Amino acid sequence: MALSRRDAMKAGAVLAAAATAPAAAAPVHHAAVKSSVPVAKPEASVRERLLLDFGWKFHLGHAADPAWDFGFGANQRTFAKAGYGIATSADADFKDDDWTAINLPHDWVVDLPFVPSTKSYKPDEEDPRAAHGFKPVGREYPQTSIGWYRKVFDIPASDLGRRIALEFDGVFRAATVIFNGYIVATSGSGYRSFRVDVSDFANYGGKNVLVVRVDASLGEGWFYEGAGIYRHVWLTKQDPLHIAQWGTWVKSSVTGRTATLSIATDLVNEGAVRTAHIVSTVFDPDGRVVATLKSPELNLGAGEKRTVAQTSTLSSPRLWSLEVPALYHVLTQIVAKGAVIDDAVTSFGLRTTKFDPAKGFLLNGKPVKLKGTCNHQDHAGIGAALPDALQDWRIAKLKEFGCNAYRTSHNPPTPELLDACDRLGMLVIDETRRMSSDEESLSDLEAMIRRDRNHPSIILWSIGNEEPQQPTERGARIARVMKRRCNELDPTRPVNAAIDNPDAWGKGIGPVLDVIGANYRTPKIPGFLATSPKSIVIGTETGSTVSTRGVYVRDKASGYCVAYDTEAPWWASTAEAWMKVAMPDSRIAGGFVWTGFDYRGEPTPFNVWPNVSSQFGILDTCGFWKDNAWYYKAWWGNEPVLHLFPHWNWTVGEKINVWVHSNLDTIELFLNGQSLGSRKMEPYGHVEWDVTYAPGTLEARGYKDGKLVLTDKRETVGAAAQILLKTDRGSLAADGEDAAVVAVEIVDAEGRVVPTASNLVSFKVTGGALLGVGNGDPRSHEPDKASQRAAFNGLCAAIVQASKSAGDLRVEAMAPGLKAAALVIPMKPAKPRAAV
């Protein structure tokens, strides 16, 4: 239930009683996040912020031929006359009947076919096209590197006099925004959020044509980036005197049982001279009003911008933590002549953070080891265009094996990912895209910090990753400028960068940083700290084991790695190698594994066709666990763990390397009831046996203090007989946005996963939409946007999305020769976000 304050604010005061009707808690998708608290969030009632995701049309353009690019640039007069002759697709009477109907977020590259190289490469060579997963995007592919988006919508006549703006959370890349025939904005970086005021160009009481040309001819990363309007777009309507975008900033300091809030509100007056005041109402995590602050009367001139500062003290604050991520909210209102003319809601958290040379990272005064993962932005089936529910799902999957920190590699993420980290309890390193002190790069850095600085999950600003200038004085000069800007915008968080050259820890950018990020070279960290005891170091990239889910026999020609913790590139290390150095050493604040999820592109260690995805992940591209996930769960978690692998379907007499990941004291292995001996589990290690295969049952028994605690079995399974469908969502919101991952298992007659099954599974979805499919195979060239997918080592997945009508979303899965399966997910009535 929303908290309406339109009437309450007529007298310029907030009725505390309104806080007794908190909003419904956000859904929690995983048992791993049961500890998160309800989010009772008030709502703005005057400002309109409308979702602009639905009802778009899309068409490819052409980077080299204006005739196929809707005339854009055809006569070299694109920027000659405002509102004239930009492109035929921007015309009000343009017919877009043959354009594809889409909703946002949207990534057109994921729909493109895989294209092999024309040159032959050896497995140990690197193919430059592999970096982006062999998708035809870039300067060599002008016919698939331009995308046009078009949406027609009404703006009521009653909006005349308000400020109308478009807000883009991210467009990849080089966006040209055309509104009613006028080029109203261009934006370079694909990771920057930006706002465009279109008040002067709107047709009030009529149709408005919004066209966005997106040029992905040039990339920003060396990994799959997708292309298109892959994040949300919003339409905002405000009074001429309003709160600026990202205009409320809440700083806090916690001392004992008291928290001091400093609230800064940026005002913009784009109208005539006005007199008004600010009312800031603070709500605790249960939705109760705990502070109401009223500023003096303010006289703002036409065109004036002003920052208003307010302070308050809270007693017995509820601190944000990993276990209980408590969120406060502030409702900021501008009141003029007794009426609220603009309002906004900002969430924040109360906590203390500190990096200490001897104790590492401290959260609320207690040492917390950073058990992190680095991640890119894409997911199987959908590319870079993730529904919000998938952001929550991915964070919850990481928390399942003990991960407590997330590095946004190597760019500012979508805002919804940070919202998920705030709600679910995940620490964050927020990273800008380019390490440079040029005007544009500093502007991108500023946009990231202004947008994100209220998130309690963020503990570090990262200004770069593995930059060539890292050991140089030039790099130091650039770092100093960037750090100074970070400190001006947010003095509450330290500044970090990821360094892959140990020489730069002690010179170049290293001494400039508050926290040195070490990419790999983990064994060198203790020696550096011994000679530089005041330095603070974290592993910003560690443990790059390359592994393929379900593969246990090394065959380089196959393009697959084994799922044991044995293979890493020359510059990296296995999980055990870095964990044994960093985890016991209190001086090392922790580490971020490269990576949490497999990702498209950069298909290490085989950077040649037909490999299209990386194999670094603890989880595959679908989010299925690899065996190393149990290793991290054993040493990052607090529960007893016992995981036995590999599967037990082999050739009789074959010698099989058997491993156990566990945090118990002693492991004993049995084959068909006969003991094969015990092994002692060393800290941050594993145990293994070489076993001659015989069909039957392989069993591991784990002991703690001499007592049996856990057992795990692998059985010889039969032929594939049926399909099982699973999801962790008990229901979906019928809002047209909510989504779920449906896991598909190919099982034998007794319901056991067949570890080598590759059956082609077909899907039918009714009551909702099938967004995409995947299977985690790093060599698969099957389309993501399809109604079928082959299982890979017994598993595949489908992503489904709810409709806007309550009822049942039904997923059916079929494969020749197998018993079909069906899964029903109820879609419950939900108030959709206000949309255009």
pLDDT tens digit string along 752-763?
999 999 999 999
Mean pLDDT of the chain: 94
CA-to-CA distance for 241 and 272, rounded, in angstroms?
9
Q: What is the C-alpha separation between 42 and 22, in angstroms, rounded? A: 7
The pLDDT of residue 29 is above 70 = no
Q: Would you say residue 40 has pLDDT above 80?
A: no
CATH 3.20.20.70 fits 353-636, yes or no: no
Q: Whole-angstrom Cα distance, residue 667 to residue 675?
A: 11
Residue that is written with structure tokens 């006569």 in the block: 75
Please count the other Cβ atoms lying within 10 Å of the Cβ belonging to residue 679. 18
408 neighbors 431 (Cβ within 8 angstroms): yes
Element (H or E) spanning 259, and its range? strand 258-269
How far apart, in Å, do the first and last CA atoms of the chain sit?
A: 22
3-state secondary structure of 474: helix
Contacts of 682 (CB under 8 A, 6+ apart): none
CATH superfamily of this structure's domain 722-828: Immunoglobulins (2.60.40.10)
pLDDT of 118: 79
Residue 25 pLDDT more than 70? no
Q: What is the pLDDT of residue 38?
A: 53
Q: Is the pLDDT of residue 122 over 80?
A: no
Residue with tokens 């079928």: 788
Answer yes or no: is pLDDT of 35 > 60.
no
- Mean pLDDT computed over 371-398: 98
Catalytic residue among 220, 541, 699, 737: 541
pLDDT at position 17: 29
Q: What is the CATH T-level fold of the domain 51-238, as seen in this structure?
A: Jelly Rolls (2.60.120)
With cut-offs at 50, 70 and 90, classify the pLDDT of residue 127. Answer: confident
**How much is the pTM?**
0.94
Mean pLDDT, residues 572-594 taken together: 97
Active-site pick, 466, 602, 668, 737: 466
- 505-542 residue pLDDT tens: 999 999 999 999 999 999 999 999 999 999 999 999 99
Identify the weakest region by mean pLDDT among 25-34, 537-546, 764-773: 25-34
Burial class (CB in 10 A: 0-12, 13-18, 19+), 763: buried
Alpha helices in 190-263 (DSSP H): none
For residues 245-259, average pLDDT: 97
How many whole angstroms separate alpha carbon 222 and alpha carbon 133?
10
Residue 60 has pLDDT above 90, yes or no: yes
pLDDT at 4: 33
| The pLDDT value given to residue 81 | 85
Task: Identify the CA nearest to 669 among candidates 712, 716, 708.
Answer: 712
The reply to whether 722-828 shares the fold of 8-43+240-348 is yes
Instruction: State the DSSP H helix or E strand holding residue 443, giving kind and residue range, or none if neither.
Output: helix 439-452
Using CA atoms, how far apart are residues 134 and 114, in angstroms rounded to an integer? Answer: 5
Torsion from C-alpha of 611, 615, 617, 618, nearest 10 degrees:
130
The pLDDT value given to residue 75: 85
Higher pLDDT, 241 or 34: 241
Considering only CA atoms, give the Rg of the chain. Answer: 27
Q: pLDDT by residue (tens digit) across 650-677?
A: 999 999 999 999 999 999 999 999 999 9
What average pLDDT does the segment 459-465 reach? Answer: 98
| pLDDT exceeds cutoff 80 at 31 | no
- Give the residue extent of every domain in the chain: 8-43+240-348, 51-238, 353-636, 648-715, 722-828
Residue 7 has pLDDT above 70, yes or no: no
Q: What percent of the chain has pLDDT over 70?
A: 95
Does 648-715 carry CATH code 3.20.20.70? Answer: no
Residue 37 confidence (pLDDT): 53
With a CB cutoff of 8 Å and minimum separation 6, the contacts of 78 are: 72, 85, 86, 183
Tokens of 820: 């079909």
Q: Are 422 and 457 in contact (CB under 8 A)?
A: yes
Question: Measured at the alpha carbon of residue 449, what is the angle toward residues 447 and 452, in degrees to the nearest 5?
Answer: 105
CA torsion 758-760-765-771 (nearest 10°) is 70
pLDDT over 80 (residue 734): yes
Which residues on neighbouring strands pair with residue 191, listed in sequence order?
A: none
466 given a catalytic annotation: yes
Distance between CA 736 and CA 382 in Å, rounded?
Answer: 16
Residue 20 has pLDDT above 50, yes or no: no
Contact 424, 395 (CB under 8 A): yes
CATH code assigned to 8-43+240-348: 2.60.40.10
Judge whether 43 counts as a catalytic residue: no
**Cα(525)–Cα(533) distance, rounded to whole angstroms?**
11
Rounded to an integer, the average pLDDT of 425-453 is 98
Q: Over 90: is that where the pLDDT of 615 sits?
A: yes
Q: How far apart are CA 115 and CA 130, in angstroms?
A: 10
Q: Which residues of 662-673 are buried (b: 16+ CB within 10 A; e: fewer)?
A: bbbebbbbbbee
